[in-house]
Structure 1
Amino acid sequence: MRERVAPAEIRARLWDAPVRIVHWALVLLIGFSWGAAEFDQMLLHRISGYVILGLLVFRILWGFWGSRTALFASFVKGPGRTLAYLKTLPNRSPTDVPGHNPLGAWSVLAILGVLAFQVTTGLFAVDIDAFEAGPLSDRVSFETGRQIAELHEASFTVLQVLVVLHVAAVLFYLVWKRSNLIGPMVTGRRRFAADPGLTFAPWWRVLATAVVAAAFAWFVSKGLRL
């Protein structure tokens, strides 16, 4: 027997492939980078860091000229709108927002910001024996490189807290708001009361952005030297 769907409900495209690929790639690489550092596999740690750098550059650029739901201008709201949204959280009704809600938007920016700080400090960091160092560590003194390395480690703790809060928020929406946020980030589609009329960037723009991001990450990995 076929499942009956309310006539007013429509399953529309929400997230494009670039956003979903970057999201899940960062999930995997953050864990991989942590594991590589814990097991003293610093070559793998550095390579993973360069890939994360490329993904971050891609996501930032995509936030300015990507698909509508990827644009920072479309989901980042001011304090007033964010506070108004916070007041709706006790309501169990699912939020019919096409994309990130105002609170989730600030969570995204926080995670991207801390990740950018993590990668940047890693580029200048030096270990205690000066045996392992980032590709830009020769731009700073040994003492400064060691201080940056400590910031690199400390910021990972901040990142861990943000990730835990992010997972908790996803579970809150799943259990309390009865809204599955994971499914759309896998399939790219979600049910809406009406067609949200979202627009998506062409593939040539995806490829062009990927080339720029990859070239930038490669250039940085070479110590900004050709």
Structure 2
Amino acid sequence: MEQPSAEAYEATHVHSVYNAIAPHFSSTRHKPWPLISSFLTAQPPGATGLDVGCGNGKYLPVNPTLHIFGSDRSENLVQLARAERNGEVVVADALSLPYRECSVDFVICVAVIHHLSTRERRQEAIQALLRCVRAGGKVLVYAWALEQGTSRRGWDEGSEQDTLVPWVMRSKGKPDATYQRYYHLYREGELEEDVVAAGGIILESGYEKDNWWVVCSSKET
């Protein structure tokens, strides 16, 4: 049996899922994570940036002195970001961003690239982020970690890195609906490897809330 293409697989197990669960998903996403908030508040007043894969736009208002343009692949999440955050948000794929090269001061990309189903596509996405920042600009990337032994999910070094994670929607008077989301769980050091392969320079990296993160810049900056 012929395997589906990466694009078709992601359409089924990422894009259609987030469109279906958008309001429920958004209702669980309100509080900004500390390190991401610190990254945004450290940007100088008037700086411009991107939130790629912004979801419901919860990071757009963190630092009101910044001008942040949001994008997401889910049309329904984009509508929520516009309505709830009054954000400048567009529908866009992370591998085909509608922004000029070297046009912004910073980029954040939180819990996005782990939804791309091949390593090549994940590295292409990081390349796309790096192309957007001007000289001296920084890119912050978060991705789910494989090493989550202390979390409720219980993944650890021996778990499969490519997995389907259920999202259960419960509605009064209706049967539960379960949607399967694709994730690539990053092992320690792998995100840094992908950044280097994408042409980036690691400035900082670490672990927060079951995620590996990196702050990087382009070699050309």
TM-score normalised by L of structure 2? 0.26
Q: Which has the higher strand share?
A: 2
Structure with the bigger percentage of helix: 1
Greater RCO, 1 or 2 (C-alpha within 8 Å, sep 6+): 1
**Which protein is bigger by CA-based radius of gyration?**
1
